[in-house]
Amino acid sequence: MSADTKEKTVNGSGTERHLNMIEAINEALDIKLREDPDVIVMGEDVGYFGGVFRATAGLQEKHGKTRVFDTPISECGIIGVAVGMGAYGLRPVPEIQFADYIYPGLDQLISEAARLRYRSAGDYISPMTVRSPFGGGIFGGQTHSQSPEAIFTHVSGLKTVIPSTPYDAKGLLISCIEDNDPVIFFEPKRIYNGPFSGYYDKPVEPWKRFDESIVPEGHYKIPLGKARHVTQGEELTVLTYGTMVHVAEAVCREKGVEADILDLRTLVPLDIEAIEESVKKTGKCLIVHEATRTSGFGAELSALVTERCFYHLEAPVERVTGFDTPYPHSLEWAYFPGPVRIGEAIDKMMAG
């Protein structure tokens, strides 16, 4: 949809190839497995079967059981062995089946992977990329819907990356795998097959209708720490990521607001320059995420914007988020920060 994305994605031959997000992720893994003999892909059901969301389909057949394999159901074990493999010199890409199941592996991530470089003064590193589907909107109940990104952004030594389009998913994942630090790569599962406007009663529009799903073949990277301008505008800055990029974009379009929508793409390290530049231009900043509100990543964004752009602000920074409850099953759409919640926040800011 955005001009600069289009420019980037047209592949020389003129024939445009559309992939959904799963296919783009699969391709990134395939390329890295081919290019780098140290890359290892593993996780529950990822090997023979190819993953419960099919993200690793066909990879074991292509690259063999030593490179792509199933693991026991132990997230602590998966991340723990990835620390050991990384220390030896491999580049593990473990999958955690749902972000909601990453918690048994937290000690290995927080106390070990995140600090290995620091405590060994660079003697050992932990170059792993933990892929995991996250977010709600699929009636997954409390254990298939969570957005725990702020738990990870709070840990020193972990990078946190969240794509919102197939093009970005491939380029970002390749960057993560090549990065020498541990990275959490959260995949917004609601938009695996198509972007989501927030209107849950409308049918899903497949990715192939959108330019952001034009994915060049072969290796390309999107640098970590660079936000994407989804739309350019003078009236309002919207800081968001993942599924909410599409919901926020739809609401701004509907309301006819000329918004500067920034898809952050990387939460740590954050593209602070792009944020400052945009907020100084518009004077208004709306933050949208699906995760719970209290101590969510929006709180960090709000603090940064207030610290750095205070004298440019024409209205208080607003946050639109999920509620501070576990993800409810039947009341999913009452929980989700949809068009009504975002729309009201925009109205309030535009009136101010």
Partner 1 sequence: MIEMINQIYSNKGDKLKGRQLPIMYSSREHSFFSISGNLATQTPQAVGWAMASAIKRDSRIAATWVGEGSTAEGDFHSACTFATVYNAPVILNVINNQWAISSFSGFAGAERTTFAARALGYGLAGLRVDGNDPLAVYAAERWAANRARANAGPTLIEHFTYRAEGHSTSDDPSGYRSAQEREEWPLGDPVMRLKNHLIEIGEWDEDRQEALDKECVDHVKAVTKEAEKNGILGHGLHHPFKTMFEDVFEELPWHLKEQSEQAIHERETKFPEGRPNS
Is 143 near partner 1 (CB under 8 A)?
yes
Is 329 near partner 1 (CB under 8 A)?
yes
In the complex, minimum distance from the CB of residue 96 to ligand TPP, in angstroms, rounded to a whole number: 8
* CB of 212 closer than 8 Å to CB of 1: yes
Of the residues 18, 144, 246, 289, which is catalytic? 144
Q: Of residues 97, 175, 243, 302, which one binds ligand TPP by CB under 6 A?
A: 97
Is 32 near partner 1 (CB under 8 A)?
no
Site track 98-137 with ligand TPP (rule: CB under 6 A), x = hit: ---x--x---------------------------------
Is 310 near partner 1 (CB under 8 A)?
no
Site track 37-66 with ligand TPP (rule: CB under 6 A), x = hit: -------x----------------------
Is 294 near partner 1 (CB under 8 A)?
yes
Choose among 41, 11, 48, 4: nearest CA to 26: 41
Is 340 near partner 1 (CB under 8 A)?
yes
- Cis (ω within 30 of 0) for the bond into 269? yes
310 binds, among partner 1, ligand TPP, none (CB under 5 to 8 A by kind): none
What is the three-state SS of the chain? CCHHHHHHHCCCCCCCCECCHHHHHHHHHHHHHHHCCCEEEEECCCCCCCCCCCCCCCHHHHHCCCCEEECCCCHHHHHHHHHHHHHHCCEEEEECCCHHHCHHHHHHHHHHHHHHHHHCCCCCCCCCEEEEEECCCCCCHHHCCCCCHHHHHCCCCCEEECCCCHHHHHHHHHHHHHCCCCEEEEEEHHHCCCCCCCCCCCCCCCHHHCHHHECCCCCCCCCCCCCEEEECCCCEEEEECCHHHHHHHHHHHHHCCCEEEEECCEEECCCHHHHHHHHHHHCCEEEEEEEECCCCHHHHHHHHHHHHHHHHCCCCCEEEEECCCCCCCCCHHHHCCCHHHHHHHHHHHHHC
Is 45 near partner 1 (CB under 8 A)?
yes
* CB closer to ligand TPP out of 140 and 166: 140
Is residue 219 annotated as a catalytic residue, yes or no?
no
* CB closer to ligand TPP out of 79 and 279: 79
Stretch that binds partner 1, among 7-15, 239-247, 260-268, 332-340 (CB under 8 A): 332-340
Burial class (CB in 10 A: 0-12, 13-18, 19+), 47: buried
* CB closer to partner 1 out of 136 and 163: 136
49 binds, among ligand TPP, partner 1, none (CB under 5 to 8 A by kind): partner 1
Is 95 near ligand TPP (CB under 6 A)?
no
Q: Of residues 16, 38, 70, 178, which one binds partner 1 by CB under 8 A?
A: 70
Q: Which pair of structure tokens corresponds to residue 142? A: 């409390």
Is 283 near partner 1 (CB under 8 A)?
no
Site track 104-123 with partner 1 (rule: CB under 8 A), x = hit: x-------------------
Choose among 173, 154, 178: nearest CA to 162: 173
* CB closer to ligand TPP out of 111 and 143: 143
Please give the residue ranges that form the binding site for partner 1 (CB under 8 A).
44-45, 48-50, 52, 70-77, 100-101, 103-104, 139-144, 293-294, 323-326, 328-331, 334-335, 340-341, 344
Please give the residue ranges that form the binding site for ligand TPP (CB under 6 A).
44, 73, 75, 97, 101, 104
Q: Which residues are catalytic?
A: 144
